[in-house]
Chains A and B, each alone.
Chain A
Amino acid sequence: MTTVLAYLDPGSGSMILQIIAGGLAAVAVTAKLYWGRLLKFLRIRKEEPEAAKPETARGSDSG
């Protein structure tokens, strides 16, 4: 496929912005994920109640 971008001018600043905005979103998602893990590790947030899942007997200590 060709390397040219589409017929529409995407705007240089507009492209940079998408990286910044997307980057911020990525950072936020990652941070949220680690924050959740930290809370679990510190036992501030409880693990999901096992009774809620159908196959409780097998256990779910995958992570």
Chain B
Amino acid sequence: MSGPDTHTSAETRPPEPRSSGGSSGLEPGSFRDPESRVFYAGDNVYRALSPDGLADFEALAASGLLDDERVVRTEQAGDGIPALDHLLVHEPAGILRHERIPFVSYPYEWTFSMLKDAALVQLDLLLAALEHDMVLKDSTPYNVQFKGARPVFVDVGSFERLREGEPWVGYRQFCMLYLYPLLLQALKEVPFQPWLRGSIDGITPSQMRGLLSFRDRFRRGIFTNVFLHARLERRYADRPGQVKEEVRRVFKKELFVANVRKMRRLVERLDWNPPEGVWTAYGERNTYTDDDARRKDDFVREVARSRDWDLVWDIGCNNGRYSRIAAEGAKTVVALDADQGPVELLYRDLRTERDERIVPLTMNLADPSPGLGWRGLERRSLPERGKPELVLALALVHHISISANVPVRELVDWFASLGSALVVEFPTREDPMVKKLLAPKREGLHPDYELEFFERRLREAFDVERSERLESGTRVLYFARPKKAG
């Protein structure tokens, strides 16, 4: 068996870091690389560098790669940074300041094309680095963040000077966290997200081999990167020192570049498309023009434009129609849906539009991302990454309450716990969609799913400012603000 893999983390700051567990301003997910460590002071994101780390950074700055738009904005910080103890093993030799990413997301919340685009950024930056005799010391997707639909590489500490005879150290990690998850979905139609959420280090070569069939080994790149990889890993597992020396003797930079290029061609070719029904529904919902839809648009638009919202969550975003309306009055909109299909199509559209405000993510609200990794703090739960100022929950309540069996009372309490304003839609029991969801259930189930009960609970937890019953009569919209404490 192979030893544990390590990697750095997404090193960006949640707007409201919780103090529990984390010491003053240290990023709890940035500890694996001994050459650099991320911390926060005030509204700023900083990175402390060891002497070696600083020398690497200076080489990076000299190469011009720091100005690449795919790399997070970074500058050397001046004096006056509050010193933190125990940032690194020794005194830091230098401090950097990073641009803040508005909302941190993780690969197990991305769609196929998002992980693929992140992989291509990783490989392209590695190829660009190699031209300047530099490398990326690791290959983890947690080093990529999305500004809207644009992937940004955030771990500046990953760039280092290339050592003579050094192979692609991050190759194995690239396979485990990028290539295998992408293959799983492209070849097997198995969503990769639960696998990445289940294992912070990804899928090992031998696990991946177990998931493929005999036929698969004849597909491009599979034999080498999966079957041969798994076999060699087993064969050389107990001879790491010897192998390292042998490899150093024969390995050349040209070989490194050839391997990365080959991987890039392989990843570039991988493809996955949502089922046909998703495409149809995605397009239809974008064009429907009936009166209900128009009034719903207006309702959301009025709230969105009533002030400048910093962060909006659109939960159950579907094709992103209301995320787009919300973005008219918001800096950042996080568009969440449990169904990867429409989110994938939304991402592709936003990518074409070069959007930097809407972050599309796939997540089941009845089973949202928990805290993961060392002490459960390396990767944060959804609300710990920044609570929203406004939540849109349109065409969602019936799915959570009926399909996922969450009691209406608990759902409203959860909304209230976010402390944000809320636009929520309640489809009544007469609504065709609700009827459909209730149909397979025993008669009389979900007695709490009643308009009156929902509204009473909502008014207990919120100040309801506006409500509107749509023309069809089976859907009611509310705009509510959290009750002031005390």
Using CB atoms and an 8 Å cutoff, list the residues of chain A in contact with chain B.
1-3, 5-26, 29
Contacts and interface: CB of A to CB of B under 8 A. Distances in A.
A28 B137 CA distance: 28
B228 A8 contact: no
Given A1-B161, A8-B6, 6 more contacts: A11-B233, A12-B232, A14-B229, A17-B232, A18-B259, A21-B224
B232 A16 contact: yes
Nearest to A29: B258
Interface string B33-68: 111000000000000000010000000000000000
Interface in B171-203: 171-173, 175
A27 to B, nearest CB: 11
Interface stretch (B235-243, B267-275, B351-359, B376-384): B235-243
Nearest to A16: B232
Interface in B114-162: 137-138, 160-161
Contacts of B175: 14
Contact of B233 (A5, A14, A20, A25): A14
B250 A9 contact: no
Interface residues of B, number: 50
Contacts of B166: 5
Contacts of B251: 15, 18-19
Given A7-B32, A7-B33, A7-B34, A12 B236 contact: yes
Contacts of A19: 167, 247, 250-251, 255
Contacts of A22: 255-256, 258-259
Contact of B3 (A7, A9, A16): A9
B167 A15 contact: yes
A17 B229 contact: yes
B5 to A, nearest CB: 6
Nearest to A21: B224
B172 A11 contact: yes
A19 B165 CA distance: 11
B171 A14 contact: yes
A14 B230 CA distance: 9
Contact of B255 (A1, A3, A26): A26
B168 interface: yes
B373 interface: no
Contacts of A3: 163
Contacts of A16: 232, 236, 243, 247
Name which of A2, A7, A16, A17 has the most chain B CB atoms within 10 A of its CB.
A17
Contacts of B163: 1, 3, 5
B161 A9 contact: no
B97 interface: no
A4 to B, nearest CB: 9
Interface of B: 2-7, 32-35, 52, 137-138, 160-161, 163, 166-173, 175, 205, 224, 228-237, 239-240, 243-244, 247, 250-251, 254-256, 258-259, 262
A29 B175 CA distance: 24
A5 B234 CA distance: 21
A23 B259 CA distance: 9
Name which of B4, B167, B224 has the most chain A CB atoms within 10 A of its CB.
B167
A22 B163 CA distance: 18
A26 B403 CA distance: 56
A14 B262 CA distance: 15
Contacts of B33: 7
Contact of A13 (B7, B160, B232, B250): B232
Contacts of A6: 137-138, 160, 169
A6 B134 CA distance: 13
Contacts of B161: 1
A18 to B, nearest CB: 5
Nearest to A28: B258
Given A10-B172, A12-B240, A17 B247 contact: no
A18 B175 CA distance: 12
B6 A13 contact: no
B352 to A, nearest CB: 34
A24 B4 CA distance: 29
B224 A17 contact: yes
A10 B244 CA distance: 9
A7 B224 CA distance: 25
A21 to B, nearest CB: 5
A13 B169 contact: no
A25 B259 contact: yes
Contacts of B137: 6-8
Nearest to B236: A12
17 contacts: A7-B6, A8-B137, A9-B5, A12-B236, A13-B233, A13-B236, A14-B175, A17-B228, A17-B232, A19-B250, A19-B251, A21-B259, A22-B255, A24-B224, A25-B255, A25-B258, A26-B258
